[in-house]
């Protein structure tokens, strides 16, 4: 196990601990200049951009739970109930995940472009509508980004759910069908309880992933309009690499994000443990 532990330590724990250390220093590029204690954290919490990014990240998470969490379950259930062409639909659902993330965002930036050459505006011009400026509307930009991310990643998650569905004893469905249970009752009383534990695990993993969303708003909107799509990770990147090169404050944002995710994970572990005890 030593080679794996060594690589794990070098590539994960050393950078992590170095980021925590750097968050307590004033830096010039990556050089530690002066120990400032909690001053970087105090400065970050007082900045309007950080407050906006924090709110936006929670909004991303909320929309992701409404859209991104339910769509893979729906896909898995529909494909699982399909009698013909199941392999084709599984492949079709997974295909968007093969496309590199940046390429997918560039593709959709042209799709939602406010220019007359944007795909949606071209289509809407056929019925004398538009042009529409989806990515410049503050109340629409985050749902659109979540929708695009869901389009790309839902297929892979749906395959995980389908693997869980494959482990359900088919005799349960046969018995339910003989007793007159329709598709919705079979899903409610057999399918959902069988994949509940899997779904709860994927839920916390999705929250962790969405909290680290960065390149989607970076490519589609650059955090705009008026910071309406700015995320914590994008704000951290801006501090670290966009002009100011303030690694100390960027590390502070990273540590704050990690602490929030630790709280979510601890809450999930507590609820899951209590639920197991009740059962």
Q: How far is 113 from 170, CA to CA, in rounded Å?
A: 48
Q: Is 40 exposed, middle or buried (0-12, 13-18, 19+ CB in 10 A)?
A: buried
Determine the pLDDT at residue 41. 92
Determine the pLDDT at residue 122. 83
Determine the pLDDT at residue 100. 84
Residues in contact with 218: Cβ distance below 8 Å, sequence separation at least 6, in sequence order: 234, 237
- Residue 150 near residue 158, CB atoms below 8 Å: no
Q: How far is 65 from 62, CA to CA, in rounded Å?
A: 5
Determine the pLDDT at residue 277. 66
Q: How far is 211 from 214, CA to CA, in rounded Å?
A: 9
Which residue ranges form the domains of the chain, and what is each CATH number?
47-278 (1.10.3720.10)
Determine the pLDDT at residue 74. 87
Q: How far is 33 from 28, CA to CA, in rounded Å?
A: 7
- Backbone dihedral angles phi then psi of residue 126, each to the nearest 5 degrees: -65, -25
- Residue 248 near residue 63, CB atoms below 8 Å: no
Q: Residue 19: helix, strand or coil by DSSP?
A: helix
Determine the pLDDT at residue 60. 93
Quote the pTM value: 0.85
- The string of pLDDT tens digits covering residues 51-90 is 999 999 999 999 988 888 888 888 888 887 777 888 888 8
Determine the pLDDT at residue 138. 84
What are the average pLDDT values for consecutive 10-residue runs of the chain, which has 279 residues? 89 88 86 87 90 92 87 85 81 86 84 80 78 80 89 87 83 83 81 84 87 88 86 90 83 91 88 73
């Amino acid at each position: 196990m030593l080679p794996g532990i060594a690589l794990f330590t070098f590539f994960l724990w050393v950078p992590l601990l170095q980021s925590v250390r750097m968050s307590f220093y004033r830096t010039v590029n990556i050089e530690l200049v002066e120990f400032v204690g909690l001053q970087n954290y105090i400065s970050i919490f007082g900045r309007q951009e950080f407050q906006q990014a924090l709110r936006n990240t929670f909004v991303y998470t909320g929309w992701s739970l409404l859209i991104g969490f339910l769509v893979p379950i729906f896909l898995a259930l529909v494909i699982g109930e399909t009698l013909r062409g199941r392999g084709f639909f599984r492949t079709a659902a997974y295909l968007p995940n093969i496309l590199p993330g940046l390429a997918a965002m560039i593709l959709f930036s042209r799709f939602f472009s406010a220019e007359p050459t944007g795909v949606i505006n071209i289509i809407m011009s056929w019925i004398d509508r538009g042009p529409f400026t989806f990515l410049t509307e503050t109340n629409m930009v985050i749902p659109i980004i979540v929708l695009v991310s869901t389009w790309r990643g839902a297929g892979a998650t749906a395959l995980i759910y389908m693997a869980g569905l494959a482990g359900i004893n088919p005799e349960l469905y046969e018995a339910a069908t003989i007793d007159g249970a329709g598709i919705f009752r079979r899903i409610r009383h057999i399918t959902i309880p069988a994949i509940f534990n899997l779904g709860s695990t994927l839920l916390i993993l999705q929250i962790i992933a969405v909290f680290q969303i960065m390149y989607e708003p970076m490519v589609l909107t650059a955090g705009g309009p008026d910071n309406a799509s700015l995320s914590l990770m994008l704000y951290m990147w801006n501090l670290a690499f966009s002009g100011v090169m303030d690694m100390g404050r960027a590390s502070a944002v990273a540590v704050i994000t990690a602490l929030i995710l630790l709280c979510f994970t601890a809450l999930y572990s507590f609820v899951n443990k209590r639920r197991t005890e009740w059962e």
